[in-house]
Amino acid sequence: MITWRSGTVVSLGRAWAGAYELMVQTPEGPVRALAYPALVGQAALGERVLLNVAALARGLGTGGYAMVIARPDSLPEDPAPGPGHLVKGRYTPQQVMVLGVDEQDSVHHELLRDADDLGGLPVVVADLHSSLPAVVAGARWAAEAAGRAAPRVVYVMTDGGALPAWFSRTVAALREAGWLEACVTVGQAFGGDLEAVTVHTGLLAARQVCAADLVVVAQGPGNLGTGTRWGFSGVAAGDAVNAAGVLGGHPIAALRVSGADPRPRHHGVSHHSLTAYGRVALVAADVVVPVGEVDDPDRSALRALVREQAAALCAPQGRHRLVEVSADAELESVLARTPVRLSTMGRGLDADPEAFLAAAVAGVHAARLTG
C-alpha cells in the first residue's frame, strides 16, 4: 500500500527527458524524490509536494527515490484536448490517458489494423532493462565491422518493471545519442515515443511505423523476483519470444548471465532465463552464447558453464537453436564506450563483464541477420 509523506522542495537536481530529481524536506528528514512533469508539472523551490515513500522505506529498488504524487497547491493545467482513449495505469489514482498507435484515432490505425507479419524482423528478447545498451552496442559494432550503417533499433518496453519510460535514464541517453530510433511502451507501460496495447502491436508498430531493422524487447528499469521458480517479472521474456515468433519475426534470446551474483540461482545462466526460455517460450528462438578464450580462468570456466546450460535449452534436447558468437577484448572495449554507464544489479562492466557480453552477442547476432 502507499506510505504517504508531505514535504517541501528544498533543491532541484538532474533532469532528463520526462523526469527530474528534487530534494524534499519531510518530517523525518530530507529525501531524494523523482517527478514526472507530464503527470505533476514542474515543482518550484519552497513548494509543498505529496510523496509516495513506500518502496523507499522498504529499501526496494526504486533508484533510491521517493515518488512525487502531486503538487496540491499548484495543480498542472488540463492537457489540451486531443485524440486518444487508451488508459494506462488503469484505475489507479494516477492513471494516464494516451493515444495508442494501434487505436482508432491514430493515423497509423489503418496501417496496423490487419498487420500480422514482421517479415523475419530480428527481435532480441532480454529479461533485464540493463541489457538494452549492451544489445544495441553489440548490434552497432557488428554492423560497423561489416561495413554497413548502424541498424535502426526500436525498444519495445514491457510493463514488468518501471511503468513510465521516463524513469529510464538509459532510454533518454540512447535516444539522445541516436542509438535508439524509438521507444514503444506496451501493456501498462507508458511514456514512449509510441504507445501500444500489447507486445504484439508494439512489435508491429516497430516494423511498420518506425521501420526498425531490429527490435529489443525488455521490461523497464527494475525487476520483481520472489526467489520462487515462477514468481518473477522476467517470465514475460518467454511470452515476448512467442509474440515475435507467431508474428513471423526472428526471435533471439539474450541470456541473463552472471559470474558475480552471490545467489546460486543466478550464477551462470540465471534460472529466470532457463524458465522463461525453457518453459514459457513455445516457439524456437536463437539462444546466443559468448565464446572465445579469455585470460581469466574464472571467466573461462563461466563461459563453459553458460554454454552447457544454454545447450540444454537447444536441439536436440530443447526447441531452440544454439548460436555461438565470439566475444573478444574488442567487443568488451566497445561496451566500455557506450553512451550510458553499464550497470546490472548494482554491478558494472568491470565487476560482471560476462553479464553484458551475453547481451552484446545477442545484438551482434541480430545485426548480422539484417545484413
Instruction: Please tell me the pTM assigned to this model.
Output: 0.96
Calculate the alpha carbon distances from 334 to 124, 148, 296, 371 in Å: 19, 17, 19, 20
d(CA 200, CA 187): 10
Relative to beta strand 153-158, strand 182-185 is: parallel
d(CA 183, CA 324): 29
Residues in the chain: 371
Domains annotated on the chain, with CATH: 4-70 (2.40.50.140), 111-370 (3.40.50)
Tens-digit pLDDT string for the chain (371 aa): 899 999 999 999 999 999 999 999 999 999 999 999 999 999 999 999 999 998 888 877 566 899 999 999 999 999 888 899 999 999 999 999 999 999 999 999 999 999 999 999 999 999 999 999 999 999 999 999 999 999 999 999 999 999 999 999 999 999 999 999 999 999 999 999 999 999 999 999 999 999 999 999 999 999 888 989 899 999 999 999 999 999 999 999 999 999 999 999 999 999 999 999 999 999 999 999 999 989 999 999 999 999 999 999 999 999 999 999 999 999 999 999 999 999 998 899 999 999 999 999 999 999 999 97
Decide if 6 contacts 52 (C-beta within 8 A).
Answer: no
Give, for 299, the enclosing helix (H) or strand (E).
Answer: helix 297-311
Give, for 178, the enclosing helix (H) or strand (E).
Answer: none
Decide if 220 contacts 194 (C-beta within 8 A).
Answer: no
- Residue 61 pLDDT: 59
Cβ neighbours for 55, distance < 8 A, ≥ 6 positions apart: 61, 62
d(CA 252, CA 241): 8
d(CA 200, CA 13): 37
3-state secondary structure of 158: strand
Calculate the alpha carbon distances from 84 to 105, 218, 312 in Å: 6, 25, 46
Cβ neighbours for 88, distance < 8 A, ≥ 6 positions apart: 95, 96, 98, 163, 185, 187, 188, 189, 190, 195
